Chain A
Amino acid sequence: MVESRLNEKEDYSVWQELRSKAKEELIPMIITLELTYRCNLRCKHCYVEFDKGGEELTISELDGLLDELKEMGTFLLILTGGEIFLREDIKDILIMIKQKGFAQRIFSNGTLFDNSWYDFFDDLQPERFEISMYGSNPEVHDSITGKAGSFERTANAVRELSSRGHEVVVKTVWMKDNYRDFVNWMNMVEELTEAVPLWTSIIAPLDNGSFSNRKYILTNEQIKELRDTQLEYFKNKYGEEYKIDDSTPCDIQIPSIPCSAGFSYAGISPDGCVYPCIQIRLKAGNIREESFRKIWNDSKIMNFIRDLSNNPIDECSKCMYNKKCMRCPGISWLESGSLSVANWQFCRQVRI
């Protein structure tokens, strides 16, 4: 009667099946809830317009939204900001999410946690934490976050959460200020937590379209240097067999929207605006004006995004590296105002 999937590989297949069904049936299975744009750090590359206006959804408004999302089949809520632990009512929000039966993934910088928070998380049991660390030491990390002491507090949070059995994924963005710290960073992460780290060298423009953070993007030479360092690191760690997948020409149609944005995923801003993704800032509606269900089902923007899935990008479809490219239509949109074009940051990354 019950088909269970207990080993990691098979677990993944059930998860993929669920995601695929959700996409087919237009079930908003994963929602990113931006709970605030307030932040206690000022990371120099961040795409968020800190402290920008708009009244945050109240807990009562969130209550109604969550009931609707549950009815529509939402499984996982990704909670992000800003720094969500700046909200005075965050504990009540997290409890409410748990009681309503959602899995919750918490994005945080971890700097505001103390022992009472760790005890609280033990009861809450989030699906996982994702915490950004931009360097292996305070000099690198704090110079990027703009806050002295942030490295120590964040490292303590990762260590403590991990020691209590929580999954903590440490993430970073490689940029001019930190890319030479790769090996030390990997060693630090390995010491702090068992979870596999995540990183990118892509810097997203700001939500308002400004690309003032462009100056932190690695040059071609720096990308090459970082890749060589990574290859050397993995070779030392895993032996001679390790190599980066060399792509071969792949004759497939690459759609403008290759991901789940607008199909089984959406983003909601702190003041209730609904977007196909938090990188695709095309406002589909606001839950203060109409229901999420109506926005999801009927809005022109959501349907425009869905129609785009049948619209291949010639340039990408012909590219010999398209199998390994992680092109994000949101980054294309923010940079060029079009969802249907290649993006130089991704093109460069796969070709170097």
Chain B
Amino acid sequence: MKYKINPDAVYREINGVYYVLLPRDKTIHRFTDVGSLIWRLIDKNFSESEIIKEVVNQYDVEEEVVLNDLENFIKELVEKKILLKIE
């Protein structure tokens, strides 16, 4: 299963932090530093393995930890309709 950024989502980066607005739902979200890094990579169409590699490089953490975090992050983004599933 793959994902794409909700075409309604409006997002901007200010000082390394991403803010994402969903006009339809009237919700606005702020990502943490790591979340912002991952979002930047998702926006650049990086694959899951490339994202993990990048985060491991930048934050000096175990690959397994990143994989687990990434899965949770993606799940949350899907729940909040920031990412949409592509079957």
Contacts and interface: CB of A to CB of B under 8 A. Distances in A.
B2 interface: no
A313 interface: no
B19 interface: yes
Contacts of B23: 103, 125-128
Contacts of A73: 12-14
B30 A11 contact: no
Interface in A4-20: 4-6, 8, 11, 14-15, 17-18
A5 B28 contact: yes
A103 B10 CA distance: 6
Interface stretch (A21-29, A150-158, A329-337): A21-29
Contact of B31 (A3, A8, A101): A3
A8 B27 CA distance: 8
Nearest to A4: B29
Given A2-B77, A14-B19, A125-B23, A101 B11 contact: yes
B32 interface: yes
B21 interface: yes
A1 interface: yes
Contacts of B28: 5, 11, 14-15, 18
Contacts of B27: 4-6, 11
Contacts of B52: none
Nearest to B25: A6
Contact of B14 (A25, A98, A128): A25
A17 B12 contact: no
A73 B14 CA distance: 8
Interface residues of A, number: 29
B30 A17 contact: yes
Given A2-B32, A14-B28, A101 B10 contact: yes
Given A18-B14, A25-B14, A27-B14, A4 B76 contact: yes
Given A1-B38, A125-B8, A14 B30 contact: yes
B4 interface: no
A25 B11 CA distance: 17
Contact of A2 (B11, B24, B35): B35
A167 B23 CA distance: 10
Contacts of B38: 1
Given A125-B23, A126-B23, A127-B23, A5 B30 contact: yes
A126 B27 CA distance: 14
Nearest to B23: A127
Residue of B12, B24, B32, B34 most packed against chain A (CB within 10 A): B12
Nearest to B7: A98
Given A5-B27, A18-B14, 12 more contacts: A1-B35, A2-B29, A4-B30, A4-B76, A5-B29, A8-B26, A11-B26, A14-B30, A21-B14, A73-B14, A101-B11, A125-B24
Interface of B: 7-8, 10-15, 19, 21, 23-24, 26-32, 34-35, 38, 69, 72-73, 76-77, 80
Interface of A: 1-6, 8, 11, 14-15, 17-18, 21-22, 25, 27, 73-76, 98, 101-103, 125-128, 167
Give 5 closest A-B pairs by Cβ, nearest first: A1-B35, A127-B23, A103-B10, A4-B29, A1-B73
25 contacts: A1-B32, A1-B34, A1-B72, A2-B35, A2-B77, A3-B29, A3-B31, A3-B35, A4-B27, A4-B76, A5-B27, A6-B27, A8-B26, A11-B27, A14-B28, A17-B30, A18-B19, A18-B30, A21-B15, A27-B14, A73-B12, A76-B10, A103-B10, A103-B21, A127-B21
